[in-house]
Structure 1
Amino acid sequence: MDLYKSMQISASGMKAQGTRLRVISENIANADSTGETPGAQPYRRKVVTFGETMDRELKVPLVQVKNISTDQSEFTRKYDPGHPAADKDGYVLIPNVNPLIEVTDMREAQRSYEANLKVLETTRSMLENTLGILR
């Protein structure tokens, strides 16, 4: 039954990292999304927080998405007096999304997802080999 537990743990990790990849993709897609009117807020970066939950039936700890929150860091200002969202001084608020950080986070999430997938594949292979021996 330990192989089944490792599969459950890996599957929960894949699900959590999949959610993280989705949120990072949303951040990248909205990196240039400013407000449409003067004083309107631009897109605010989202951040995924993980937590631990216990599978009471299997008695194993699993990872889960605890929260998807917004990054409260300051927006940057860019001088663009012709922009529809420019304030009276000609400045536009720019989203607090740094594409370099997002790509780095995406790479980390992708590697974690792939590591969990490899555990699932290896566990499945071990189960198939065990069944082959028992036949």
Structure 2
Amino acid sequence: MNVFDIAGRAMSAQLVRLNATASNMANAGAVTGSEKQAYRAIRPIFRTVTESPGISTVKVESVVTTDAKPVRRHDPNHPLADKDGNVWEAAVDSSTELVDMLEASRMYQNNVQVLQTAKSLMLDTVRMGK
């Protein structure tokens, strides 16, 4: 594994994280007629990959649905309301999702910078040899 592999895998993991957050944000506020059908936020699970001592990166192990409970709201006039007049709103905390999106975006940008720095150093090294 070299610096390009490590940063590339990290960027891939952050992209999965950004996609999960985007999905959660897209479904925030969605309403259904039953608790079972209500959208629940998803989160990627990461695993550290170590191929040799001192060198490790990350891998997306899986994407799981959170245990957050949908919010029940009494709205008998809503077309999706159940027989008791209740609807369930998606179990997504928009504030948490925004923070997660910012964090994943910054980590992605950091890895882009790592790749740019490594490329620049390699080019400078090649120029020194000429």
TM over 0.5: yes
* Matching of residues 82-121 of structure 1 within 5 Å: 82-121=77-116
Identity %: 33
Q: Deviations over 1:7-60 (max 9, x none)?
A: 21111111100110011001000112222x45651111101111122447xx94
Q: Deviations over 1:55-89 (max 9, x none)?
A: 47xx9422011110001111111121122321222
Across the aligned residues of Structure 1 and Structure 2, the Cα RMSD in angstroms comes to: 1.9
Aligned residue in 2 for 1:49: 45
Aligned residue in 1 for 2:16: 19
Provide the secondary structure at the position in 2 that maps to 1:28. Answer: helix
Aligned residue in 2 for 1:7: 4
CA contact under 8 A between 2:72 and 2:89: conserved in structure 1? yes
* TM-score between both structures, scaled by the size of structure 1: 0.86
CA contact under 8 A between 1:81 and 1:89: conserved in structure 2? yes
Q: Deviations over 1:82-126 (max 9, x none)?
A: 223212221111111011110000000011111111111100000
4+ long deviations beyond 4 Å: 37-40
Partners of 1:129 and 1:39 lie apart in 2 by 59
User: What letter corresponds to residue 49 of structure 1 in structure 2?
Assistant: I
Provide the secondary structure at the position in 2 that maps to 1:77. Answer: strand
CA contact under 8 A between 2:40 and 2:90: conserved in structure 1? yes
Partners of 1:29 and 1:131 lie apart in 2 by 47
Aligned residue in 1 for 2:28: 31
Do the aligned partners of residues 53 and 97 (structure 1) sit closer, same or farther apart at CA in structure 2, a change above 3 Å counting? same
1:74 to 2:69 alignment: yes
CA contact under 8 A between 1:40 and 1:85: conserved in structure 2? no
* TM-score between both structures, scaled by the size of structure 2: 0.89
Gaps of 5+ in 2: none
User: What letter corresponds to residue 28 of structure 1 in structure 2?
Assistant: M
